[in-house]
Structure 1
C-alpha cells in the first residue's frame, strides 16, 4: 500500500533549484533512505514532506490525503533532527511527554494516558531508568534516544529523520543504528531517513533514493543499488572503496582501456568500464587472461587490504582478504570478473551494459 507520494515536486530558492521534479512513492511500513552528498536536495525534500518547506510546484500525499498546503502540525508526522533539539532543563520524562502535553486536549489524553505512553516508549528504547534525570546530564547516545522517543510517543503516521546519528561517536552510532532498525521493524512505522553515510543507508533501508543535484538518480533496494547501479554517479558514490571506472574508447572490434583492451560489446561511443574492487582477483605471477599493473601502495584495513594499482596512467583499487606482501613498484596481475563489470555512457553516465560476459581481456597486457 502506497503511503507517502511525491508527485513531480520541485523547490526553487531564487535561481537555485534545490529539488528538481522528484516523484517517488513510499509504502506503508517501509524504511526509505534519501542518500546523497551535501547540497543534493535530500534534506529539502524531507522538509517538504514535513511541511517545513512548501514546494514551488508538485504535490505531496500522505495516506491518500493531499497535504501540500497543510501546516506541519496537521500532517501527523514526527521529525528527529541532527542536533536532537531536546530541552536540557527538563527531565527525560518531560521531554518525551512534551508533544503529548501540548496536544492533550486535541488527543483527549489524561495524565495517566500520557504517563503510560511515555513509559512504554522509554522502555522500548531502554531509557526507562532515566526518566527522572535532567536531559543535560545524559550522554550523546542517551540524548539521541530521548529525541527518538519524543518522536515516537505521538504515534505519528510518518517518522522523518534528518541525519539523526551523525553527532554520535562511532561505537554508539553502531549500537543506536541497530536499535533503530529493530524498533522500526517492530513498530512497522513508515520511516523516511536522510543521510550522506552510505553504510547507514545500506544497513537500514528497504529502499534507497540516491540523490544528486536535486534529482533522484536511482530508487531501489540496497542490494540493487550496490550491484546494479543504473548511473555512474551511483556506482562511484556507493561502495567503500567505490567502483573503479576506467575510460575506454572503441576502436573497431576492441575497446581500448588504460593498460588493456576489451572485445567491443557493441558500443560506438566512448564509455566507462566499471568494476568493484572486490570483483578483481590478483596474483604476483602472470596468469592467463590477466592484466599487468604496478603496485602503487597497499593499505591494510584490519582484516582487509586495499591494493592500489596503476594501469597505464589510471589508478584502480583491489579489495582482498588475502594477506598481501607486495611493495610499491611490484608487478601485479589482475583478472576482472566480467560478469560483474558495467559499461556506462561517457556523455550521460547512464548504464549501457550490466555485464560484459561476451567481452574478453586481451591486447596490451
Structure 2
C-alpha cells in the first residue's frame, strides 16, 4: 500500500492530523496498536484551551462541542477555609472548555469514517523504516495476523510514550529529559451532578484534590496519593470522605453519587528531542508528557498537529520544506513553556516536603489570588499561549 503520510497512532493527535491533511487533499493511512473501541473509550484529559477550540471549529469539528461542551471563564483555587475564583475572561479575554478527550476522539473517528481513508487497528510489531531516505515505510502485522507494509513520503509518530516511533531516531541523536513525581492521582468518575460551576484546585495538608466534570451529570475527581497506591484500599466511602475533607468550606456541600470508575495515574514530565529526524516527525505524547495539573497534555498534542499539518501541507502540496525544517524547534518552544507551567502548578498544589515547603506553597497561592499580574500569568498559560505559526 502507498500513501503520502503514514501515521502511527490513532489517538487524538493522529486522527486530527489525518483530518487536517485530508482537508488539504493529502491522503494518509493510520496504523494503531489498539482496536477502535479501545481508542474511543480512553478517558483522559477534559479541558480544551481557547486555541484548541478555535482549531477544532475551523476544522469543522465544533458542532457537538458547541452543543455539549461547557465553557468556563476560569478556575477556583482553594486552601483550608478559603476559595478564590480566577476569571480568565476578565484577566486575558479567553476562556477554556470542558469537553473530554473521549468526546474529541469520537468526533475525529466519525470524521475519519466519513473521509473513507484507510486505517489499520489492532496492529502489532509496528516499526518505521528508511526514515533517513526518500522512501520511508511502516511495517506491521494486521489484526488478522498478516504482514503489511505501507510506503509513504512522510511518517508521523503519534503513538504515545510507549510507542515505537521515537525509538526509530538514532540513540546518538535522541535526547530525553524526565522527572518522576513522588505522588500520583487517584481518579474517580461519578454519576453525580457537579458541585461546582468551574474546576476547584484544592491544596490541603492531607494532599491535593481536584473537582472537575465531564458533563452536567457526570463529575470527575482526583485525590493525591502515592505512586504505589493500592486502589483496592480505596472504598467508595473512603473516597467521598477524603474528598469532603479536602474540599471542605463553610456554606458549600459536596454532592455524592455512584462511582463508576477508579484508577491511579502516576505523574511525570518527559521531553524527547528532536521531534523530527529525516522523514519521521513526532507529535503529542510520543515527544512529550506533562503532569495533568495544568491541563496541557491534549492541548499540546493539538498544537503540535496544527503546526505539523501546515508544515506537511507546505512540503507535499507546495514543495516548500522550510516549515518542516523548523517544526521541531518551533514546537519545542511551546513544549518547554507548557512543561514548566505544568511543573509549577504541580509543585504549588501537591503536598510534599515538610512544613517549610507547605508555607512556601501557601505563600505562592496567596500571591496568585492577590496579585492581578500573578493571576494573569496563570490565566495566560492555563487558557493557552499563542504559538508562532499558528496564529
Fold shared per TM-score above 0.5 = no
TM-score tier (shorter): under 0.3
More helix by share: 2
Higher relative contact order (CA 8 A, sep 6+): 2
More strand by share: 1
TM-score by length of 2: 0.19
TM-score by length of 1: 0.20
Larger radius of gyration: 1
